[in-house]
Amino acid sequence: MTTDAILPAVGTRDETPGVVRGVAVPSRGALVPSPARTPSIPNRRRTVISWLAAALALLALAGGGYGWWRAHRPLLPPGFASGNGRLEAGVVDIDTKFAGRVARLLANEGDMVRAGQVVAVMDTRDLEAQLGQAEAQVRQSQKGVEEAERNFAQQQAQVIGTQAAISQAQRAVEEARANVQQQQSHVKLTKQELSRSSYLTSRGYATAERLDQRQQEADAAVAALSAAEARLGGADQALLVARQNAEAALAAREAAASRIGAAEHALEAVMQSVAYYRVNIADNSLVAPRTGPIEYRVANVGEVLGAGGKVFTMLDTADVRMDVYLPTPEAGRVRIGSEARIVLDAYPTHVIPAKVVLVSSQAQFTPKTVETHDERDKLMFRIRVRIDPERLQGRETLVRSGLPGVAYVRTDAAAAWPEQLRPSAPPSAPPPAKP
């Protein structure tokens, strides 16, 4: 089949129905490739116009949604003010007290930890060695105290012995003094008898033999008196020696008591060292100061940190608050302790009671994330409202930091809260996680 049979010449008329001369019309059943289509300029314009229309529709929808939100917000009666903000929980850093190497990590990001729970342990081998040395010094000091106490007991026994010797020497002195007095009386008596015998013998009434006997008795009495006086002197000397020994024993006992005191002070010093090392070892076990979730883990096992190095950052679920910004006319009527309510965007039907805990004393520029009723309100006062910690007990896992919402503050203590802002019942606490 030729080309003329498929496309007749222009200006001629074919006998075949549907074929007009001057127009190239393919016959039925002929295979002719179609030319490639290229978009024209009007088509591109229509595409751009359709995209602009879609964008304008989205903007209109967003504006309508915002208008609906503004229209359906709870209308506040006089005596109340509101502002939007984000729910924030207090941030607590878990840091090291001493420089050291991280030995173990017992928690991870997202874990709920309790106050006092150990979350990390630092390497304490050097402190444990120093603790062992201090404990050895404690044992040595305890032996020194025991020896000092034994020495004191010996000196105490020596003092008691010298006191007994003094008592015995005093009794000997008293006996010797009594004996001297007795011998003095006997000497006096023998001298009187000798005088009478001498008188009688000179008159012839007594014999010379009797006079000699009286003389011998007097001499014997004088000799006995001299011996008694000598014994008295010896007893006095023995008493003096006993008293000197007692004084020496007392001085030795005082020295032994002083040694006990010194040994006890040395023992107390090394025991304080032991306590110091134990405290330092305990402080190297990092514990969570509050109850809440672990937000960030900053360090890893094996890292060496300086004193004050951060290991974890956690959230304090007992300190949940929201900062809002109010203009001067409203902020000036807010007082610390005033009642407040928080309504989160995620839970619009749940009203959380709170209290005002901070009223900034200085105005500041309004953050970009805070919506104001009037764009002319450039300077605002920051107001902080805090949720009652008792309401959060047992519900730590429900706390979400960063949730946007609206805080309502009562500026007039006599104003009654509207019905839609009455506090909701607290949510039930989730069951404790299984270990």
Domain ranges of the chain: 74-112+295-421, 127-282
Contacts of 60 (CB under 8 A, 6+ apart): none
CA distance 386 to 364: 21
**Continuous segment of H or E residues that includes residue 139:** helix 125-203
CA distance 5 to 10: 13
Print pLDDT tens along the chain (435 aa): 333 333 333 333 443 444 434 444 444 444 444 444 545 566 767 777 777 777 777 777 766 665 555 544 556 788 899 988 999 988 999 999 999 999 999 999 989 999 999 999 999 999 999 999 999 999 999 999 999 999 999 989 988 988 898 888 888 888 888 888 888 888 888 888 888 888 888 887 778 888 888 888 888 888 988 888 888 888 888 889 888 988 999 999 899 999 999 999 999 999 999 999 999 999 999 999 988 899 999 999 999 999 999 999 999 888 899 999 988 888 888 999 999 999 988 888 889 899 999 998 887 766 655 555 554 456 788 999 999 888 877 766 667 788 899 999 999 888 899 988 888 887 665 555 444
CA distance 317 to 397: 9
CA distance 263 to 146: 9
> Amino acid identity, residue 315?
L
User: Is 74-112+295-421's fold the same as 127-282's?
Assistant: no
Reference 270, options 142, 165, 104, 164; nearest CA is 142
Q: How far apart are the first and last CA of the chain?
A: 89
- What's the DSSP call for residue 111? -
CA distance 280 to 272: 12
CA distance 161 to 250: 11
Strand 404-410 relative to strand 379-387, pairing? unpaired
CATH topology for the 74-112+295-421 domain = Elongation Factor Tu (Ef-tu); domain 3 (2.40.30)
CA distance 3 to 84: 80
Could you tell me how many residues make up the chain?
435
Strands (DSSP E) contained in 61-176 are 80-95, 100-105, 112-113, 118-122
Check: CB of residue 311 under 8 Å from CB of residue 108. no
CATH code of 127-282, in short, is 1.10.287.620
Check: CB of residue 341 under 8 Å from CB of residue 354. yes
CA distance 173 to 167: 10
16 exposure class (CB count in 10 Å sphere: 0-12, 13-18, 19+): exposed
- What's the DSSP call for residue 396? G
